Structure formats: C-alpha cells, structure tokens
Structure 1
Amino acid sequence: MAGLTSFVYNTVFRSNVTMLTTVFASAFAMQLAFDTGSDRIWDSINRGRQWKDVKVRYVQKAEDDDDE
C-alpha cells in the first residue's frame, strides 16, 4: 500500500501542473461518461416515444402524400 501511495504522489501530486492536468482530464472523462450513460438510460426508458424513433413514420407518410 505504501508503494502505491508513493507512486501516486510522485506521479500526480508532486507537480502542480500534473495535478491540475489530471483533475481536468478526470473531470472531462467523468462528464463524458455521465452524459453518455444518462442519455442511454433516457433513450431506453423512452424508446418509441422520441422524434428520432417516430420520424421515419412521418417522413414516409409525407412522401406518400406528395406522390398522390
């Protein structure tokens, strides 16, 4: 355990620039993961009720009406 903590300290926390880069990169990655995960959950809960799911029906209907 002491080896792991000294490794983390020497690679991340020893230099201010490295620590800030790690914090910002981690925040960006967490935001991306959270947004992607929440979008997938929302899409699975609302499958079939969103515009991207029903657009095909309305576009085909409009094309059929134009042909007549």
Structure 2
Amino acid sequence: MALARSVYHLLFRRTSTFAITIMVGAVFFERLFDQGGNAIFEQMNRGKLWKHIKHNYEEKDEE
C-alpha cells in the first residue's frame, strides 16, 4: 500500500500532474505500440520486403 500511496501523492493528487502523467504515458505507449507493430510486421514478412531482397536486383557499377 505504501507504493500505491506514494504514486498517488506524486502523480495523481493534483489535476495538473495527472494530465501531464496521462500525456507522457500516451506518448510512450504510442512509441512502444508503433515499434512493436513494426517489429512484428517485419518478422512476419522477412524475406519478402524490398530492403531484404534489393541486393538481388541491384546492379553494381564496375568502372
């Protein structure tokens, strides 16, 4: 209970700190969700995306 009480007094007691906590939490959640989604997409499509196969189609300039 001491941890919950400390978090309440630190972050949720005043409206201004509550609003800032929500905004910062939303930014971090958005970043985490976006990077997680991209990682899952790339893992599921490994070997099918252009960045994985472009070396098969690019020509080297040998002058």
Q: TM-score, normalised by structure 2?
A: 0.81
Which amino acid in structure 2 is aligned with residue 27 of structure 1? A
Alignment match, 2:5: 6
Give, in whole Å, the separation in 2 of the partners of 1:56 and 1:22.
Answer: 46
> Which has more radius of gyration?
1
Which amino acid in structure 2 is aligned with residue 33 of structure 1? L
Unaligned runs of 5+ in 2: none
The alpha-carbon deviation at position 7 of structure 1 amounts to 0.9
Give, in whole Å, the separation in 1 of the partners of 2:46 and 2:6.
Answer: 46
Alignment match, 2:50: 51
Q: TM-score, normalised by structure 1?
A: 0.77
Alignment match, 2:22: 23
Higher helix share: 1
Unaligned runs of 5+ in 1: none
The alpha-carbon deviation at position 4 of structure 1 amounts to 2.0
Q: How many residue pairs were aligned?
A: 62
Q: Which 4+ runs in 1 deviate beyond 3 A?
A: none
